[in-house]
Amino acid sequence: MKRFALLGLPNTGKSTVFNRLTGMSQRVGNWPGLTVELTSARLLLGGKMVELVDLPGVNDLTGYSDDEAVVRDVLMSTAFDAAILVLNAAQLDRQLPLALQVLASGIPAVVVLNMADEARLLGITLDLDVLRQRLGVPVVLVSAKRMEGWPALMEALNRQAASAATASHAQLDRVPETQDAIMQARAKLAACWNLPAVLPEGMTEKVDAWLMHSWLGLPLFFACMAVLFNLTYQIGTPLQGLVGDGLDWFKTAALQQWLAPLPAIVQSLLLEGVWQGVSTVLTFAPILFVFFILMAMVEDSGYLARAAYLTDAFMAKLGLDGRGFVMQLMGFGCNVPAILGTRVMRERKQRLLTMLIIPFSLCSARLQVVVFFAGILFTPQQAPWVLLLLYLLSFVVAIFTAWVFKHRYRGNEAFLLEVPPYRLPGMRHMLIRAVAEVRAFLELASSFILMGVVLVWLVSHIPAGDNKTLADVLGTVMAPVLDPIGIKHELAVALLVGFVAKEILLGGLAVIYGVPEAGLGAALLHHLDWASAMSFLIFTLVYVPCLSTVAAIRRESKSRAFTALSVGWSVLLAWLISFAFYQGVHLLR
Amino acid sequence: MLSLDKFPPGCKGVVDSLDLSDEAFRRVAAFGLIPGSHFNLTRCAPFGGPLVLEVGSTRFLLRRSLASLIQVRVAE
């Protein structure tokens, strides 16, 4: 089988080209020998099977960024038959240097000049034949979005795949340095690629006059985020409900009957353990799917760069960049997609710092718990203010975390981000991407969450003598930690349940007090005093949001140590804040 | 000659020199900002936020802290 690499700068429509060529057949997987995930797909070109590997977008083959290192590692460790180089035809002045670096490395290449439509609109003139001659490789002009120039591209690719040459490793020592490559590119482009002296003013400038306005920009940004946020839940939550109902129906209509012949303890393990885990993971799928579609819209339309522009002043002080703010806000809906969404940040340290603060966003599952507690502990007049205070608490904790860790995960000051012209996102492209993302998440989370749910089941069902279970023992063992923050021993297992998912926390509490969920409020008031109930609530808000978030952090950081840090830090903070609150209340009394 | 963060928005300029580390220089160069290149400073975000620059047909944002290390002059 032949192997082709897809290379290009960020924002050149490289993944659109990839999707157009491969469709739904793509898969995300670990690259052998390296700890990176790459998307690849197989397609038939020139009568041969070709594996096309989508490499991360890079500016410079000799650069220091994480993505640049990944591309170098892959090119060095793997032999490729050809590179497909995707460049933005409207920006050849800054994009051709990368092409020259790739050509110098000795890998046969096909140069694809994408965004022909935008170049035309800008009045750019291009002599394709001269450029082809000067580069000595096939050059085609396309618009991947409109499938313009596609026959020529397919012909070039077919010819490349049919060639008898054997695959070769890139010779990176032959790659020219940045400045040399820029000078060479200038010479190659002289008199064959021309930008008009004055660029025509288009839609983008008119829209930006509003969206990037000095004082209207931010309110419009928050309005956009509010719409986005609402759409995610207006569309996602009913879908989530449907999936949940479907799964429940399956459980009562089929599963329970099938399992009926089994001993009660096995039934309980399968239903309350395994099945609970499966359904927890599956109910995430609709919301993730909707989120990825909407996020792709924000990113592909070019708005994300505007959002970064507007919020960067504030985020830079926290050691973050403007894109982190968008993710932090999305976290208020659900932390899991927000963590996965940090992928738009290509710098590892920035991503890690952002991933560290997202779990403090008060997500909709925790909101349920907060609303419930606020409802029983406070009067209807007080409750909304308590809710607001808790939202503020989550912001303060996030900012504090960023402040503590900003030196450790210091981002690069040399933060540059392209502000692309506004583009209509392609529907097909978004769908393909969302499906791939959701699938990749489910594959990982299923095993992770299943383990967690089964563990909780075991703890609360394994007998430990005296009519007690491990859960009771756990409460006693944890007493030195729980007593100073006023959390009753029987709630230790509730915290464990909340660790798996906040959605099942209230149900867990009802089981602990042996009441139906409707009677939970009264039961809690009976068993807990005001201060310890609030302390429990604060702890619930600040510590680990759920196992799915932990799974997402593990997947995205690819580091156990970082995942442990994230979990440990949030538990520690939760304990400290609850401690300060509970002891403070006692001092005041 | 003045540093880019002091450059008047809406004006065109030429890069004189970049006092940057090798790594930062590569990043900036990837957006076409090298000595002698022409640019257009299109806007500046409020509260000390980033600048938006246009080099050729590429528009991008960069932080003021980085801009202060880039010496430029107004284009005639």
Q: Give pLDDT tens digits for A473-519.
A: 888 888 999 999 999 888 888 898 888 888 788 877 887 787 777 78
Work out whether strand A125-126 and strand A48-54 pair parallel, antiparallel, or are unpaired: unpaired
A11 is in an annotated binding site: yes
Residue A561, pLDDT score: 96
What secondary structure letter does DSSP report for A199?
A: P
Domain ranges of chain A: 2-198
- How many beta carbons lie within 10 A of that of residue A587, not counting itself? 7
Q: Stretch A414-434: mean pLDDT, rounded?
A: 87
Residue A29, beta-bridge partner list: A38
Q: Are A28 and A92 in contact (CB under 8 A)?
A: no
* A353 carries a ligand binding annotation: no
Q: Cα(A397)–Cα(A46) distance, rounded to whole angstroms?
A: 57
pLDDT in tens, A309-342: 999 998 888 888 888 888 888 788 789 888 988 8
Residues A243-297: pLDDT tens digits? 889 998 998 899 989 999 999 888 888 887 788 777 877 877 887 888 788 878 8
From B59's Cα to the closest Cα of chain A, the distance in A is 5
Element (H, E) at A562: helix A560-588
Predicted pLDDT at A412: 67
Is there a contact between B45 and A124 if contact means CB atoms under 8 Å apart? Answer: no
The reply to whether residue A212 touches residue B58, judged by beta carbons under 8 angstroms, is no
Mean pLDDT of A42-52: 93
Virtual CA dihedral for A451, A456, A462, A464, nearest 10 degrees? 130
| pLDDT reading at A579 higher than 90 | yes
Closest in B24, B45, B56 to A414, CB measured:
B24
Judge whether A230 is annotated as a binding position: no
Between CA A152 and CA A145 the distance in angstroms is 15
How many domains does chain B fold into?
1
Partners of residue B58 in chain A, C-beta under 8 Å = 91, 93-94, 418
The two three-digit tokens of residue A574, written as one number: 């939760």
Q: How far apart are the first and last CA of chain B?
A: 13
CATH number, domain with residue B18: 2.30.30.90
Q: Which residue has the higher pLDDT, A436 or B4?
A: B4
Cross-chain CB nearest to A316 (options B32, B57, B63): B63
Closest to A413 (Cβ–Cβ): which among B30, B55, B63?
Answer: B63
Q: At A442, is the pLDDT very low, low, confident or very high (cuts 50, 70, 90)?
A: confident
Query: Which of A199, A214, A308 has the CB atom closest to B61's CB atom?
Result: A308
Q: CA A174, CA A186: separation in Å to the nearest integer?
A: 19
User: In this complex, do A90 and B48 lie within 8 Å of one another by their Cβ atoms?
Assistant: no
Instruction: Name every residue whose Cβ is closer than 8 Å to that of residue A449 and which is 6 or more positions away in sequence.
Output: A277, A280, A281, A500, A501, A547, A548, A551
Q: How do strand B38-44 and strand B51-55 relate by DSSP bridges?
A: antiparallel
User: C-alpha dihedral over A534, A536, A537, A539, to 10 degrees?
Assistant: 120
A34 is in an annotated binding site: yes
- Chain A hits for B38, CB-CB cut-off 8 Å, are none
The pLDDT confidence band at residue A434, using thresholds 50, 70 and 90, is confident
Q: Per-residue pLDDT tens for A110-130?
A: 999 999 999 999 999 999 999
**Which of A179, A215, A309 is most worth mutating to test chain B (most B CB atoms within 10 A of its CB)?**
A309
Closest-CA residue of chain A to B49: A313
Q: Is A198 left (phi over 0), alpha (psi -120 to 50) or beta?
A: beta
Give the pLDDT score at A197.
84
Select from 3.10.20.310, 3.40.1160.10, 3.40.50.300, 2.60.40.2550 the CATH code of A2-198: 3.40.50.300
Q: For residue B20, which residues of chain A lie inside 8 Å, CB to CB?
A: 414
Q: Note the pLDDT of residue A51.
A: 95
Residue carrying structure tokens 């959002």? A307
Q: Which of B34, B57, B58, B68 to mutate to test the interface with A (most CBs of A within 10 A)?
A: B57
CB A334 within 8 A of CB A291: yes
Q: Which chain A residues are closer than 8 Å to B34 by Cβ?
A: 179, 182
The rounded radius of gyration (Å) of the Cα atoms in chain B is 11
> Rounded to whole angstroms, how far apart are CA atoms A3 and A51?
5
Q: How many helices (H) and strands (E) does chain A have?
A: 28, 10
Between residues A218 and A272, the one the model is more confident about: A218
Q: Return the DSSP state at A177.
A: P
Residue A544 has pLDDT above 80, yes or no: yes
Rounded distance, CA B56 to CA A123, Å? 12
Domain limits for position B46: 2-74
Phi and psi at A113, nearest 5°, equal -90, 110
Q: What is the ipTM of this complex?
A: 0.96
Per CB distance under 8 Å, which residues of A are interface residues toward B? Answer: 9, 59-60, 62-65, 90-91, 93-94, 97, 122, 124, 178-179, 182, 195, 199, 212, 214-215, 305, 308-310, 312-314, 316, 322, 412-421
Report yes or no: A573 and A397 within 8 Å, Cβ to Cβ.
Answer: yes
Q: With cut-offs at 50, 70 and 90, classify the pLDDT of residue A92.
A: very high
3-state secondary structure chain B: CEEHHHCCCCCEEEEEEECCCHHHHHHHHCCCCCCCCEEEEEEECCCCCCEEEEECCEEEEECHHHHCCEEEEECC
Q: What is the pLDDT at residue A555?
A: 87
Q: Indicate yes or no: CB of A63 within 8 angstroms of CB of B23.
A: yes
